A and B are shown apart, each in its own frame.
Chain A
Amino acid sequence: MAAKVSVKSKNGSVRRAIVVGGGLGGLMTVIKLCEAGIPVDIISLVPVKRSHSVCAQGGINASVNLKGEGDSPAIHMEETILGGDFLANQPPVKGMAEAAPGIVYMLDRMGVPFNRTPEGNLDFRRFGGTLFHRTAFSGATTGQQLMYALDEQVRRYETLDVQDERGVTIPGEKMVRKFEFFDLADLIMDDNGVVRGVIAQDLKTSKMHVFRGDAVCLATGGAGMVFGRSTNSVINTGSASAVAYRRGAMFANAEFIQVHPTAIPGPDKLRLISESVRGEGGRVWVPRDRKDKRAGRDIPEKERYYFLEERYPAYKNLVPRDIASREIFRTVVHEGYQCLPGVRSVYLDVSHLASTESSKHALKNKLGGVLEIYEKFAGEDPYTNPMQIFPAVHYSMGGLWVDFETDSHNSLKIGASRNASTNLPGLFATGEADYQYHGANRLGANSLLSCIYGGMVTGPSMATWREETNGSAFDLSSDLFDKAEKRATEEYTALLARTGSEYSENAFKIHDELAEDMLLKCTVERKNDELTGLVQKIDELKVRLKKAAVLDTTPTGKMNQPAVFLRHMRGMLDLAEVIAKGALARDENRGAHYKPVFDSDRDEAKDHPEGGKGRDDKNWLKTTRATFTEDGAKFDYEPVDISLVVPRARVYKQKSMAAAVGSIGATTETTEKKDDAHAPA
């Protein structure tokens, strides 16, 4: 834990840190800062309790081994790295896997109502990419329950007074101040490029506010809205990350977008049906007869094609998400199977688990929250009818580039200020907003873990930074902050003037157009000619966005959602460009990033000089990094730290646990491989 430093600046102000975003990553960062005695301002688009973390359903991974299967953090680390197709830097993953059991115990102590065994212990379920029961869960709304636990702890800090180093209460100052319905508009950087605070817009009044901060963290989540309809909340536009990117923060591995295999199609949103449904025994199938018009429940067992179970006899329905999504896509789009003629979906079936009243009750206890979502939004009872589902954009493995510092065991050195720091000094990133833990594909139930672990790393890192850095933002002259506020206010006022015949575009329609192309060309299967077209389309939309009318000229002083959306739309186009260009450049198949020409099973591979090469470690075992310029994103690449687990082929057809354990600690071989990774592209 960081040493105590002065609570007050030289001029007597309380030195606060800033956390933007109040999901799991942000709130855990806040808790760690408060425990280090550092007061925090939280800036959040929505009341923090409504952050997107609430949508996580299935659970949180921790190798507690309460089922006596011989699970361990070392195996968890190994499977996470393998699941991510070796693109994740390995020391942070090690740190995360080692911390996981302690994190689940902490959440348990905070009162998360985790499901229990008859003995009163934590219950664990299975998830994708592992054969162990490693996932603690709270019904099927685990994210919501974890969010509430952290929200409650932070609320307690809202009631606690700030004390100075001698323990004297500073009147009127609380440890946590929340600014909810506030949107990040800009970063404030001093002449040396150090981030000294932020400008945030009060969405209720549209006024810009200055926040000074001795360390700023962005914990603002992913950018699923770039794809329009996804499993993400509508607030996940990635706007805050895009603001930082425009100010020079590097964005890493943006092309790795997780498409979740199972979601309910809908006009406004593709609602997630958790992987835990398969973890509890749910089966994916299609009618063998492509023209079968019978309802799913009327199709007899022998006429059902359980394609995941047939193709992956060891992991069956619990292969990692990228693989499951591609298989569903292939089965439906290329092979022509579907639930009903003309209905592009496959069945996810739990009806066999609810055949008696008592088994139905048990199922409801574990999955009620998610089955209820299906019942409400699809209008069918999933206890008796197989659910119709299709893949949907779900998670950004990429995010703001952040650094890390290792200890002598190649784990993360907690408390080092390099951890979680972006390339902009004083700016940190955590949670889905960073790129750190999941490589090319995230394993199910690792996101809640990475968010909370991220916060546990970021809080102490910010505390150390605050101590190491020269001077406090609270002692700087107000010039810097006044100018930034003026600039942001002028930018916003200019938006309000965008009315009249020259502004003929509607930003919401531009969003629809972007989403349609991103979904079609940049999700499960990617082709270079289509990606080239997509990059051009994004350029065209950027030009057209400049012609978008504000739609609402309501002056500052009142809420104005369409004007704010213009800023978010600009950010989405910036991030879309980084995603599309990153995908175009990366000529290989790795995790969620897949081009049919590199798959030896596909016809397209035959005519391509490098056809069917699959993953290409020689050229592409490296992190993509994008930097903003006025002429578009510029890319460079960084070697991946593979100091712990030797890259190997990623196969899920057989059981691979023994192999997994065997390769840990193969240091000599690892060093050689590491040199390979440094080879230029």
Chain B
Amino acid sequence: MAEKTVTLRIKRGVADEASTWEEFSVALQPNANVISCLMDIRKNPVTKDGKTTTPVAWDAACLEEVCGSCTVVINGRARQACSTMIAGPHGIAPNGETITVEPMSKFPRVRDLVVDRSRMFDALKRIRGWVQIDGSHELGAGPRVSASDQEIMYTLSRCMTCGCCVESCPNYNDHSPFIGPFAISLVRMYNMHPSGKMQAGERLDSIMSDGGIADCGKAQNCVKVCPKEIPLIESIAVMGRETLKRALFGWLLK
């Protein structure tokens, strides 16, 4: 019986040099995903038409969709390569269809599928994304939190800075300073926390200036591609109300 294979069509290139496409044929293993295919390629870096090439560069760490490293664009959609199964009930190429794999387009390319997402981490600085504590020494128990608030904060806190939301966002690109849906959603989380909300105003200010919440075009793509199903649109709506309140009445609160 002929071995079942799958074809990966991969966009390659270094930094801002010109891109090329290469196709690789990989034997289909049970429970294979896009990462396991890339692992096979580097053990035998030969293209489908027999040309020896360099192993494809890609970014990965946990391989269980919790670190956010391996986001790439697969068949036109931003998602984690590790959890993109080839066959099986969620498979994207159960019959060996060709799979297209590209780096995310919204970030500077390093090489092949590896991009530099520093801009996202910079956004976390801008929103002052932390609960300010007096120190790591013992200060007794933390504030009480209701189970229902915890449930919301936990859902928001699963954001792994993977980049899917901004890759799909028409308003996020190198001409726009928009900080992106993930950052706005995190402001909502920190501002919900009993001690985090003591700095709520500063965080709201951080998304009321240039590149802030007003730059959201409400395309609603982000919520559809978020691998952690974070309610990004709901968060943007909540923060929209909060920032509006602050814009209208903030001077009274000062």
Contacts and interface: CB of A to CB of B under 8 A. Distances in A.
Interface of A: 28, 31-32, 35, 46-47, 49-52, 54-55, 102, 105-106, 108-111, 113-122, 138-139, 141, 144-145, 148-149, 152-153, 155-156, 158-159, 181, 204, 233-235, 265-269, 271-272, 365, 369, 373, 376-379, 456, 506, 508-509, 512, 551-552, 554, 558-559, 561-562
A106 B136 contact: yes
Contact of A54 (B66, B139, B196): B66
Interface in B115-141: 116-117, 121, 124-125, 128-133, 135-136, 138-141
Interface in B71-128: 82-83, 85, 88-90, 110-111, 114, 116-117, 121, 124-125, 128
B63 interface: yes
A49 B164 CA distance: 16
A508 B43 contact: yes
Contacts of B193: 111
B63 A144 contact: no
A561 B112 CA distance: 11
Contacts of B39: 268, 508
23 contacts: A31-B136, A51-B61, A52-B62, A55-B64, A106-B133, A106-B138, A108-B141, A115-B150, A144-B158, A145-B157, A149-B131, A153-B130, A233-B61, A234-B61, A265-B31, A268-B35, A269-B63, A271-B64, A373-B64, A508-B55, A512-B43, A551-B45, A551-B55
B57 A561 contact: yes
B147 A117 contact: yes
Contacts of A118: 147
A50 B67 contact: yes
A148 B130 CA distance: 9
Contacts of A156: 128, 130, 132
A145 B42 CA distance: 33
A243 to B, nearest CB: 20
B19 interface: no
Contacts of B54: 551-552, 554, 562
Contacts of B59: 46
B69 A456 contact: no
Contact of A145 (B35, B45, B147, B154): B154
Contacts of A269: 63-64, 82
A105 B139 contact: yes
A515 B190 CA distance: 43
A559 B154 contact: no
A377 B111 CA distance: 28
A181 to B, nearest CB: 8
Nearest to B129: A152
A111 B60 contact: no
B153 interface: yes
Given A50-B61, A50-B67, A269-B64, 11 more contacts: A105-B140, A109-B131, A109-B142, A111-B193, A117-B147, A118-B147, A120-B147, A233-B63, A508-B55, A561-B57, A562-B42
A24 B52 CA distance: 41
4 tightest A-B contacts by CB?
A: A108-B142, A120-B144, A152-B130, A111-B131
B167 interface: no
A109 B144 contact: no
Nearest to A158: B125
B141 A105 contact: yes
A290 to B, nearest CB: 22
Contact of B111 (A28, A106, A108, A558): A558
B252 interface: no
Contacts of A119: 144
B57 A233 contact: no
Contact of A105 (B45, B142, B150, B154): B142
Contacts of B60: 234
B142 A379 contact: no
Most buried by A among B63, B68, B139: B63
A272 B64 contact: yes
A267 B138 CA distance: 45
Contacts of B30: 267
Contacts of A272: 64
A155 B138 contact: no
Contacts of A109: 131, 133, 139, 142-143, 195
Given A267-B31, A562-B55, A204 B116 contact: yes
Contacts of A266: 31, 36
B158 A141 contact: yes
Contacts of A554: 14, 54
Contacts of A144: 66, 158, 160
Contacts of A159: 125
A111 B195 contact: yes
B151 A365 contact: yes
A152 B121 CA distance: 10
A456 B138 CA distance: 12
Nearest to B58: A561
Most buried by B among A111, A265, A456: A111
Interface string B24-39: 0000011111011001
A559 B90 contact: no
A108 B139 CA distance: 11
Contacts of A551: 42, 45, 54-55
Nearest to B87: A379
Contacts of A152: 124, 129-131
A297 B250 CA distance: 58
B69 A46 contact: yes
A44 to B, nearest CB: 11
A313 B33 CA distance: 40
A32 B135 CA distance: 9
A233 B85 contact: no
A318 to B, nearest CB: 23
Nearest to B68: A50
A556 B64 CA distance: 32
B146 interface: yes
B103 to A, nearest CB: 12
B145 interface: yes
A377 B195 CA distance: 38
B43 to A, nearest CB: 5
Contacts of B43: 506, 508-509, 512
B15 interface: yes
Contacts of B36: 266-268
A117 B150 CA distance: 10
B47 interface: no
A377 B146 contact: no
Most buried by B among A35, A373, A508: A508
Most buried by A among B15, B33, B130: B130
A5 B193 CA distance: 36
Nearest to A108: B142
Given A46-B69, A155-B129, A268-B33, A111 B196 contact: yes
Contacts of A31: 136
